[in-house]
């Protein structure tokens, strides 16, 4: 069913139901920037909380961190971003538009251009007549050049070269530069991980596909430090853990696959990288999360550039070494798009059509809605009291307007897994009806049991 979902449908749905809006829309919008509305912000928070719960709170061997976005510029020299965090840019002289040269070549010829040099791409674009400006069909291109994706800004009032700083393009480096701090202030022992969530920024040449690729986005990354020699085993372990995280939250495993990066295309720091990909109906298999074996590259680079010793002393073996790092790196914006697409259904039920988001209760923006069958007292008083008792742990919605069927439909669309209705019988039997979003079955239970029942259904 989700395979029939188009991007236009999802974008329109997200706006209509208050999940995601175009940023600065009243000014005509700004490309590649999106704002999360009342339901979207709840859903994204749930994704981040589930990641944190799974990777930090449920484990004894992972601690959290929240590092600054603006870091010392030497960090990016050490990590290699200043020199190599580039995409190949080509400008069309006919339309003035700029494109990613590898994408232009790949789309016109089917050839794999990733990793080619600027000179090679310039030659192919000049010689292959199939490569045209997608806007006007022109064939007059400037030479391909590398374009650094980091956003530059200045600290303080003087815009001089020595004051240049960058908005971080990944959260990972904040973890590496705090490796020593965390080791010295927490009783951690290798193997252990440091997890972080937060905004990252990349001046993407061609952002697109809604919240799939934007210039400002969030990341959820964990660097797991291990003894060299045990890295391959830990890599497999984290691949499995991360796969299970998605399926345990309801993603259809048929829409997931592993993609092994070919050796010759690995990032400069990686020994092996495997992506978990999702089969988006509008763009096919695409990276949801990358799980890399970063070796000891980053710690060694930071040790060299900072002059600090970033070795680990293993008391058990009385030896020193620089740990290897396994890095599961994900993004909640992209994951949210996958969850939305996977859960979106248009169904015919008893001759009526309904749109329903079959989100896992842990991910659903609103966990339950409380409806009084009538707006009048005393039904409304009982319903209001139930709402007051339930609220606080998660988002509960109170709705007393319109026919009950319409109220159910609104919550189906919002992905709310449970609706609790207080009716006239509730006054006598002190019971209410809980309706399940997916089966639409209704069950009558005592008012006093609702809180525990919901808790069980949501965390189950
Ligand atoms: N530290 C490694 C790293 O940053 P990455 O594959 O470039 O690896 C990790 O990014 C994750 O961050 C991606 O799988 C994706 O979910 C998210 N991400 C990266 N660039 C993004 C963008 N422009 N917009 C939205 N999400 C992005």
Segment 345-389, tens digit of pLDDT = 999 988 889 999 999 999 999 999 999 999 999 999 999 999 999
Beta strands in 70-203 (DSSP E): 86-91, 98-100, 145-148, 152-154, 164-166, 192-201
Strands 442-446 and 431-436: antiparallel
From 79, 149, 217, give the residue whose CB has the most ligand 1 atoms within 8 Å, as the site to mutate: 217
Distance 220 CA to ligand 1 centre (A): 9
pLDDT at residue 412 in the model: 98
At 265 the pLDDT is 86
> What is the C-alpha to C-alpha distance for residues 425 and 344, in angstroms, rounded to an integer?
34
Nearest to 300, CA basis, from 312, 318, 291, 292: 312
The helix/strand/coil state of 329 is strand
- Topology given in CATH for the domain delimited by 366-459: Rossmann fold (3.40.50)
Phi, psi for 307 (deg, rounded to 5): 80, 0
Residue ID of nearest Cα to ligand 1 atom 21: 213
Report which ligand 1 atom has the smallest distance to the Cα of 331.
Answer: 16
Read off the pLDDT of residues 19-54 as tens digits, 9 standing for 90 and up.
Answer: 999 999 999 999 999 999 999 999 999 999 999 999
Q: Considering only CA atoms, which residue is closest to atom 16 of ligand 1?
A: 331
The ligand 1 atom at the shortest distance from the C-alpha of residue 212 is 25
Residue 1 has pLDDT above 80, yes or no: no
Atom of ligand 1 nearest to the CA of 213: 24
User: Of ligand 1's atoms, which has the minimum distance to the CA of residue 169?
Assistant: 4
Report the separation in Å between the CA atom of 426 and the middle of ligand 1, taken as the mean of its atom positions: 50
CA 48 to ligand 1 centroid distance, Å: 15
Domain ranges of the chain: 7-68+153-341, 86-148, 366-459
Q: How distant is the alpha carbon of residue 456 from its chain centre?
A: 27
Fold for domain 86-148?
Herpes Virus-1 (3.30.40)
Ligand 1 pocket: which of 193, 290, 292 to mutate (most atoms <8 Å of CB)? 290
Residues 6+ apart with CB under 8 A from 307: none
pTM of the model: 0.96
Exposure on the CB side of residue 192, measured as CA atoms within 13 A: 19
- Give CA separation, 75 vs 34, 196, 451, in Å: 29, 17, 49
Q: What is the tens place of the pLDDT at every residue in 72-118?
A: 999 999 999 999 999 999 999 999 999 999 999 999 999 989 889 99
Q: What percent of the chain has pLDDT over 90?
A: 93
Nearby residues of 59 by Cβ (< 8 Å), 6 or more positions away: 193
Per-residue pLDDT for 170 more than 80?
yes
> Residue 52 has which token pair?
């944190």
Q: Return the residue whose CA atom lies nearest to atom 19 of ligand 1.
A: 331
Residue whose CA is at the smallest distance from ligand 1 atom 8: 329
Q: Which residue, judged by its Cα, is nearest atom 14 of ligand 1?
A: 289
Which homologous superfamily is 7-68+153-341 in? Answer: Bira Bifunctional Protein; Domain 2 (3.30.930.10)
Q: Residues lining ligand 1, CB < 6 A? A: 170, 172, 202, 204, 213-214, 217, 219, 221, 287, 289-290, 327, 329-331, 333-334
Angle at which helices 7-16 and 332-343 pack, to 10 degrees? 100
What is the residue with the minimal CA distance to atom 22 of ligand 1?
213
CA 406 to chain centre: 32
Residue 357: closest CA among 8, 19, 7, 21: 19
pLDDT tens digits, one per residue of 209-260:
999 999 999 999 999 999 999 999 999 999 999 999 999 999 999 999 999 9
CA of 305 to the centre of ligand 1 (A): 25
Q: What is the CA radius of gyration of the chain?
A: 26
Mutate to test the pocket of ligand 1, among 334, 337, 339 (most ligand atoms within 8 A of CB): 334
- Report, as an integer, the average pLDDT of 178-206: 96
The Cα–Cα gap between 372 and 239 comes to 46
Residue 219 CA to chain centroid, in angstroms? 6
Closest CA to 220 of 193, 247, 182, 240: 193
Q: How far is the CA of 287 from the centre of ligand 1 (A)?
A: 8
Best CA proximity match to 37, nearest among 388, 338, 331, 366: 366
The rounded Å distance from CA 149 to ligand 1 centre is 13
The 8-class DSSP code of residue 144 comes to P
The residue written with tokens 């007549």 in the block is 129
| Atom of ligand 1 at shortest range from CA of 202 | 23
pLDDT band at 3 (very low <50, low <70, confident <90, very high): very low
On the question of pLDDT at 192 being above 50, the answer is yes
pLDDT tens per residue across span 53-74: 999 999 999 999 999 999 999 9
Closest residue CA from atom 24 of ligand 1: 213
Encoded tokens for 459: 């965390």
Domains 86-148 and 366-459 share a fold: no
Expressed in angstroms and rounded, the spacing between residue 344 Cα and the centre of ligand 1 is: 24
CA of 290 to the centre of ligand 1 (A): 8
Atom of ligand 1 nearest to the CA of 289: 14
Per-chain mean pLDDT for the chain: 96
Name the residue with the closest Cα to ligand 1, atom 17. 331
CB–CB of 312/362 below 8 Å? no
| Centre of ligand 1 from the C-alpha of residue 422, in Å | 45
- Cα of 241 to ligand 1 centre, how many Å? 19
pLDDT digits (tens, 9 = 90+) for 285-342: 999 999 999 999 999 999 999 999 999 999 999 999 999 999 999 999 999 999 999 9
Residue 104 near residue 88 (C-beta atoms within 8 A)? no
Instruction: Among 331, 332, 337, 338, say which to mutate for ligand 1: greatest number of ligand atoms within 8 Å of CB.
Output: 331
* pLDDT tens per residue across span 112-138: 898 899 999 999 999 999 999 999 999
């Amino acid at each position: 069913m989700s395979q029939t979902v188009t991007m236009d449908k999802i974008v329109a749905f997200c706006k209509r139901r208050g999940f995601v809006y175009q940023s600065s829309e009243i000014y005509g919008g700004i490309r590649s920037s999106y704002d999360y509305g009342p339901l979207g912000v709840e859903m994204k928070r749930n994704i981040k909380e589930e990641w944190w719960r799974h990777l930090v709170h449920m484990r004894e061997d992972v601690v959290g961190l929240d590092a600054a976005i603006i870091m010392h510029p030497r960090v990016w020299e050490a990590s290699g971003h200043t020199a190599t965090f580039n995409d190949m840019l080509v400008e069309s002289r006919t339309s003035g538009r700029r494109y990613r040269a590898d994408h232009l070549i790949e789309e016109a010829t089917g050839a794999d251009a990733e990793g080619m040099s600027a000179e090679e791409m310039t030659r192919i674009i000049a010689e292959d007549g199939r490569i045209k400006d997608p806007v006007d069909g022109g064939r007059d291109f400037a030479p391909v050049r590398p374009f650094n994706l980091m956003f530059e800004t200045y600290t303080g009032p003087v815009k001089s070269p020595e004051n240049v700083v960058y908005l971080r393009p990944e959260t990972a480096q904040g973890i590496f530069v705090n490796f020593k701090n965390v080791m010295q202030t927490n009783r951690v022992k290798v193997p252990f991980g440091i997890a972080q969530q937060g905004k990252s920024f990349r001046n993407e040449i061609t952002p697109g596909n809604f919240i799939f690729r934007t210039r400002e986005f969030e990341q959820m990354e964990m660097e797991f430090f291990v003894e060299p020699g045990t890295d391959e085993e830990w890599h497999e372990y984290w691949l499995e853990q991360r796969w299970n995280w998605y399926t345990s939250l309801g993603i259809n495993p048929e829409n997931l696959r592993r993609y092994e990066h070919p050796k010759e295309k690995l990032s400069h720091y990686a020994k092996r990288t495997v992506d978990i990909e999702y089969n988006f109906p509008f763009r096919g298999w695409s990276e949801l999360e990358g799980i890399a074996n970063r070796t000891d590259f980053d710690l060694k680079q930071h040790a060299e550039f900072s002059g600090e010793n970033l070795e680990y002393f293993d008391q058990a073996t009385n030896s020193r070494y620089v740990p290897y790092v396994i890095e599961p790196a994900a993004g909640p914006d992209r994951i949210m798009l996958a969850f939305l697409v996977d859960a979106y259904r248009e169904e015919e039920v008893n001759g009526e059509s309904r749109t329903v988001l079959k989100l896992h209760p842990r991910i659903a923006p609103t966990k339950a809605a409380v409806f009084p069958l009538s707006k009048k007292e005393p039904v409304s008083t009982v319903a209001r009291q139930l709402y007051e008792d339930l609220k606080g742990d998660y988002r509960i919605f109170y709705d007393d307007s319109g026919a009950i069927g319409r109220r159910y439909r609104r919550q189906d669309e919002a992905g709310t897994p449970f609706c609790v209705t207080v009716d006239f019988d509730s006054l006598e039997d002190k019971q209410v009806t809980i309706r399940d979003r997916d089966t639409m079955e209704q069950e009558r239970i005592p008012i006093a049991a609702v809180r525990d029942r919901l808790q069980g259904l949501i965390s189950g």
